[in-house]
């Protein structure tokens, strides 16, 4: 079996993998990082969003061997383990941006990427348009949009920026 070497949440990881192994499988099954969820297996729902070399990707359609040498950040690595939540995570908590929580890790990872690309002053239309690839089956998105706007403003202070990259 081929070997893959990655940096995941700041730690070097090397493993022998089947060539067909998807990044989401590698994270969940090999590394036991179960915050990245599998919702559809077709890249439609966004529950599996992680950051690959600083950009949001859907890990359910990314072959782990194709990203050998890359850096991956999951929801578990967004904030320091013993530190405060990342500003976007805190905004979701404060603004009730979740219900069942299944889509939340992917939403948060997509939201951080959105802020990194679009800036800290996001209007509702922009947020909703950018969330096109992330589905929530529980909410009407109102509190998710509110959470992302609040998180974007909070990220302007610089807290959590390093962890997000």
Domain around 125: 87-160
| CATH code of residue 148 | 1.10.150.120
CA distance 100 to 108: 14
- Residue 163 has a pLDDT of 40
**Environment class of 104 (CB within 10 Å of its CB; exposed 0-12, middle 13-18, buried 19+):** buried
- Residue 158 has a pLDDT of 60
Domain count, the chain: 2
- Residue 41 has a pLDDT of 77
Q: Are residues 107 and 144 in the same domain?
A: yes
> Rounded to 5 degrees, what are φ and ψ at 64?
-60, -35
- Given a cut of 70, the residues of the chain with pLDDT beneath it are 158-165
* HEC secondary structure over the chain: CCEEEEEECCEEEEEECCCCCEHHHHHHHHCCCCCCCCCCCCCCCCCCEEEECCEEEEHHHCEHHHHCCCEEECHHHCCCCCCCCCHHHHHHHHCCCCCCCCCHHHHHHHHHHHHHHHCCCCCHHHHHHHHHHCCCCCCCCHHHHHHHHHHHHHHCCCCCHHHHC
Last-in-domain residue among 53, 77, 101: 77
Spatial strand order in the sheet of 71-73: 11-16, 3-8, 71-73, 49-52, 55-58
Q: Are residues 151 and 109 in the same domain?
A: yes
Question: For residue 71, what are the β-bridge partners?
Answer: 7
User: Measured in whole angstroms, how far is the alpha carbon of residue 89 from the centre of its chain?
Assistant: 11
| CATH code of residue 40 | 3.10.20.30
Q: Are residues 57 and 102 in the same domain?
A: no
Q: Are residues 63 and 23 in the same domain?
A: yes
Last-in-domain residue among 31, 56, 77: 77
Q: Are residues 95 and 60 in the same domain?
A: no
Residue 128 lies in a domain: yes
Radius of gyration of the chain (CA): 15
User: Measured in whole angstroms, how far is the alpha carbon of residue 148 from the centre of its chain?
Assistant: 13
Q: Are residues 104 and 155 in the same domain?
A: yes
- Residue 114 has a pLDDT of 97
Residue 72 lies in a domain: yes
Residue 82 lies in a domain: no
Residue 140 lies in a domain: yes
- Residue 76 has a pLDDT of 96
Pick the closest to residue 148 from 68, 77, 100, 90 (CA basis): 90
Residue 165 lies in a domain: no
């Amino acid at each position: 079996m081929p070997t893959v070497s990655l940096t995941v949440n700041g730690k070097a990881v090397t493993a022998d993998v089947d060539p067909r192994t998807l990044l989401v499988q590698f994270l969940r099954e090999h590394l036991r990082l179960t915050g990245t969820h599998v919702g559809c297996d077709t890249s439609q729902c966004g529950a599996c969003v992680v950051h690959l070399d600083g950009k949001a990707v859907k890990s359910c359609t990314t072959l782990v061997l194709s990203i050998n040498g890359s850096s991956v950040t999951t929801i578990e690595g967004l904030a320091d383990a013993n530190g405060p939540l990342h500003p976007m995570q805190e905004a979701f908590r404060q603004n009730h941006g979740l219900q069942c929580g299944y889509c939340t890790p992917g939403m948060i990872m997509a939201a951080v990427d959105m802020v990194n690309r679009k800036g800290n002053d996001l209007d509702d239309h922009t947020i909703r348009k950018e969330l096109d690839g992330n589905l929530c089956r529980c909410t009407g998105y109102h509190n998710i949009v509110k959470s992302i706007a609040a998180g974007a403003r909070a990220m302007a202070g610089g807290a959590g920026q390093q962890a997000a990259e």
